[in-house]
């Protein structure tokens, strides 16, 4: 089952909802998934479409319980994709489509023979429970959420830019900054980043899905940390190896051109140890000295060796150039 279905199924099973909230959620559903068609001389019929079975059941039983209306239900299977099923709930004018709109705070506007559903209900921050319920309805009506293992993405689809504006406004009550893009003639308002999606799931009351998402986030975070540590250690190892190669080159240069026996005892000791143990880091080298020396002490001595070799090379090339000039 997709993560979207998991969240939707959980939301359809929420219990003990306030009456006001059920009607607010229904308003979102009718507004986003409903269509009204005028019946000549006799009001209008309303059709609500959804592809989620649990949600279709929720809409049916809520309309029945809270509006006293029995919608007609048709199930339509797509010919191309046999798994693709959509549920249509039909509320005729005679069955009480007007009551449904009145109870949910909606109305119709008829223009040029077309019937538009409009939201009359004002949704404001004073009735937090109903704002949350409305967003829940919007998610059930046209929302989807990506599998958190893959990516963090949640979106709410709507038909008009006004609907998208309203959804963004309601999300804004909870500090969620949705963005809207158009896709195939629809307005898609989306949230990115795990934290925002967790907040949204919390607002709409999908607490079990929220825990599931948090677990994925923790595991992902741990995996990232492990990768970071491994990368960091690899980088450090690279640095140790590069430094060691340089030190060994310089020590060999000194041995050939100056002689290790010309070095002070402390430098000679570390030079010989470095040649013997090319893969040790400074701390490990220091522990092999008599008496043992700390990392910075070892570094100091190896730097001295570097400088001796560099100075000698520079002087050598100076003499060479001078010599060439004199000839
Ligand atoms: Zn409420």
Digit-coded pLDDT (tens) for 127-148: 889 999 999 999 999 999 999 9
The beta-carbon contacts of 165-172 under 8 Å, at least 24 apart in sequence, are: 166/119, 166/123, 167/135, 167/138, 170/123, 170/131, 170/134, 170/135, 170/138, 171/135, 171/200
- Amino acid 304: pLDDT: 95
**Whole-number pLDDT of residue 82:** 64
- pLDDT tens digits for 236-291? 777 777 888 889 999 999 999 999 999 999 999 999 999 888 888 889 999 998 88
Task: Count other C-beta atoms under 10 Å from residue 61's C-beta.
Answer: 12
Residue 128 Cα, ligand 1 centroid: separation in angstroms? 7
Q: b vs e for 174-198, b when ≥16 Cβ sit within 10 Å of the residue's Cβ?
A: bebebebeeeeeebbbbbbebebbb
Ligand 1 centroid to residue 106 C-alpha, Å: 16
The residue with tokens 């609907």 is: 163
Question: Under CATH, what is the fold of the domain 3-205?
Answer: Endonuclease I-creI (3.10.28)
- In angstroms, the CA 297 to CA 286 distance is 8
Report helix, strand or coil for 277: coil
What local confidence, expressed as pLDDT, does residue 21 receive? Answer: 92
Q: What is the pLDDT along the chain (327 residues), one digit of tens a residue?
A: 899 999 999 999 998 889 999 999 999 999 999 999 988 877 889 999 998 899 999 999 999 999 999 999 999 887 766 678 899 999 999 999 999 999 999 999 888 778 889 998 888 877 889 999 999 999 999 999 999 989 999 999 999 999 999 999 999 999 999 999 999 999 999 999 888 999 999 999 999 999 999 988 888 888 877 777 777 777 777 777 788 888 999 999 999 999 999 999 999 999 999 988 888 888 999 999 888 999 999 999 999 999 999 999 988 776 655 554 443
The secondary element (H helix, E strand) that includes residue 74 is strand 72-77
Q: What is the pLDDT of residue 321?
A: 56
134 C-alpha vs ligand 1 centroid, how far in Å?
A: 9
What is the distance between the alpha carbons of residues 171 and 201, in angstroms, rounded to a whole number? 12
Q: Which residue pairs from 263-270 have beta carbons closer than 8 angstroms and sit at least 24 positions apart in sequence?
A: 263/305, 263/308, 266/301, 267/301, 267/304, 267/305, 267/308, 270/298, 270/301, 270/302, 270/305
Distance 25 CA to ligand 1 centre (A): 9
How far does residue 140's CA lie from ligand 1's centre (Å)?
Answer: 17
Least Cα distance to 130 among 21, 15, 11 occurs for: 21
Q: Ligand 1: distance of its center to the CA of 86 in Å?
A: 29
Residues with CB under 5 A from ligand 1 (ion): 18, 20-21, 129-130
Q: Which two tokens stand for residue 15?
A: 């219990």
Within 8 A by CB and 6+ apart from 237, the residues are none
Neighbours of 285 (CB within 10 A): 23
pLDDT given at position 167: 95
pLDDT of residue 114: 81
Query: Reduced to 3 states, what is the DSSP secondary structure of residue 146?
Result: coil
How far apart are alpha carbons 80 and 72 in whole angstroms? 25
Please answer whether residues 74 and 135 qualify as being in contact, where contact means their C-beta atoms are separated by less than 8 angstroms: no
Cα–ligand 1 centroid distance for 12 (angstroms) = 16
- Which pLDDT score, from 0 to 100, does residue 205 have? 94
- The helix (H) or strand (E) run that includes residue 180 is strand 179-183
The count of other CB atoms within 10 Å of the CB of residue 54 is 16
| Cβ–Cβ < 8 Å for 274, 285 | yes
* Pairing status of strand 85-91 against strand 186-192: unpaired
Cβ partners under 8 Å of residue 222, min gap 6: none
Q: Could you give the residue range(s) of every CATH 3.10.28.10 domain in the chain?
A: 3-205
23 CA → ligand 1 middle, Å: 8
Q: How far is the CA of 200 from the centre of ligand 1 (A)?
A: 17
């Amino acid at each position: 089952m997709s993560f979207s279905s998991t969240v939707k199924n959980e939301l359809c099973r929420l219990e003990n909802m306030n009456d006001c909230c059920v009607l607010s959620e229904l308003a979102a559903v009718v507004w986003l998934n409903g269509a009204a068609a005028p019946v000549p001389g006799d009001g209008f019929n309303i059709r609500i479409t959804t592809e989620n079975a649990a949600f279709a059941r929720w809409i049916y039983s809520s309309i029945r319980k809270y509006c006293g209306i029995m919608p007609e239900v048709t199930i339509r299977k797509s010919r191309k994709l046999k798994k693709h099923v959509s549920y249509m709930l039909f509320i005729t004018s005679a069955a009480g489509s007007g009551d449904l709109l009145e109870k949910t705070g909606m109305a119709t506007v008829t223009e040029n023979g077309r019937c538009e559903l409009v939201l009359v209900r004002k949704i404001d921050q004073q009735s937090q429970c109903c704002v949350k319920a409305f967003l829940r309805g919007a998610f059930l009506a046209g929302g989807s959420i990506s599998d958190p293992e893959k990516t963090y993405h949640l979106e709410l689809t709507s038909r008009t830019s006004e609907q998208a504006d309203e959804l963004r406004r309601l999300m804004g009550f909870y500090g969620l900054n949705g963005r809207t893009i158009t896709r195939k003639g629809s307005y898609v308002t989306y949230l990115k980043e795990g934290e925002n999606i967790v907040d949204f799931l919390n607002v709409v009351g999908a607490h079990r899905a929220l825990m599931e998402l948090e677990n994925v986030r923790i595991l992902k975070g741990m995996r990232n940390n492990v990768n970071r540590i491994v990368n960091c250690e690899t980088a450090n190892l690279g640095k140790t190896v590069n430094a060691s190669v340089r030190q060994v080159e310089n020590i060999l240069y000194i041995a050939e051109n100056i002689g290790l026996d010309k070095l002070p005892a402390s430098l000679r000791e570390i030079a010989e140890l470095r040649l013997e143990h090319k893969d040790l880091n400074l701390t490990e080298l220091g522990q092999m000295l008599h008496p043992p020396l700390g990392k910075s002490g070892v570094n100091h001595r190896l730097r001295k060796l570097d400088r001796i070799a560099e100075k000698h090379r520079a002087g050598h090339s100076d003499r060479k150039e001078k010599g060439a000039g004199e000839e």
